[in-house]
Amino acid sequence: MSYKILNTNALLFYIIYMIDQEFIMLIMNCKKYQKKAKFQKMTWLPHIPSYLRYYHVIGDPEQDTKYKFDKENNVLWVKVADDYSSLPKKVIAAYEAVYKTFDFKYLFKTDDDQILVNPNFFNTLVGFISQKRPKTHYGGYVVNVEKPHISEYYKIHPELPSDLPIYATKYCSGRFYFLSKSSIVDLLSKKNYIEKEYLEDYAIGFFLNEIYKKDILPLATNKFFTDIEYSDYPRLLEEGKI
């Protein structure tokens, strides 16, 4: 266990204990789709490396605290609306909760509709980014937005604005990406801006300082993850087994 000492004046200081956990994975979930989280717990999550701690992230705007960790059930509750449009707020709130609770090196992010199909993925990735010099701060399937345009995601998610601008940038697809602790600190300094966005993965890449994007690690995440709809989930759900 490590700690931080915060000086408030010459006579008073606080010691904040941090839990040592080098690698943490956050899986975006919601109350409506908790059965997807249950299916992940039935399939690939029991087989992730022991050094990787995971939490499903669920929003609850009525809870008393900004965040709370349910370690028994591997859930991180954040005081944010639990709808799709609030996903950027949920993500940055979860990052803040991790930053304030754990002493970590890297944070991995994925979604409740993803199934890991390559069991060697995390060991390979962690081994690579732990040894790579210069250090890699950000990685995933890289989307290169070359020209500003109006997003058409509202055709898939009608709750989104139909006039949502997307500006030129590079970002990693929300299917899976990773961020270093330093890049998390940078993003938290722009929390107010991220909260105003609608597309989580785009917002993270757009507001991340270029210093941390100089050496993005490209990952063919579609070779390691597949959508839950292509698994046994729809059948088991229909049969009432989840």
Q: pLDDT band at 12, cuts 50/70/90? A: very low
- pLDDT, residue 232, reads 94
Give this prediction's pTM: 0.93
Where is 63: in which H helix or E strand? none
Mean pLDDT of the chain: 93
- pLDDT, residue 11, reads 42
Where is 220: in which H helix or E strand? none
- pLDDT, residue 189, reads 98
Residue 35 pLDDT > 50, yes or no? yes
- pLDDT, residue 19, reads 82
Nearest to 127 by CA among 22, 12, 224, 213: 22
Residue 9 pLDDT > 80, yes or no? no
Q: How far apart are CA 52 and CA 23, in angstroms?
A: 5
pLDDT digits (tens, 9 = 90+) for 126-138: 999 999 999 999 9
Distances (CA, A) of 149 to 6, 130, 163, 168, 173: 45, 37, 9, 8, 18
Q: How far apart are CA 101 and CA 28, in angstroms?
A: 18
Q: How far apart are CA 191 and CA 37, in angstroms?
A: 27
DSSP 79-115: SS--SGGGHHHHHHHHHHHHHHHEE-SEEEEEETTEE
- pLDDT, residue 18, reads 79
Which domains are assigned to the chain? 2-238 (3.90.550)
Residue 10 pLDDT > 80, yes or no? no
Task: Specify which residues 178 forms β-bridges with.
Answer: 108, 139
Residue with tokens 């992940």: 40
Q: How far apart are CA 80 and CA 93, in angstroms?
A: 8
Q: pLDDT band at 3, cuts 50/70/90? A: low
Q: Average of pLDDT values for 46-58?
A: 97
pLDDT digits (tens, 9 = 90+) for 197-218: 999 999 999 999 999 999 999 9
Residue with tokens 């997003």: 151
Distances (CA, A) of 37 to 27, 31, 50, 188: 9, 10, 19, 26
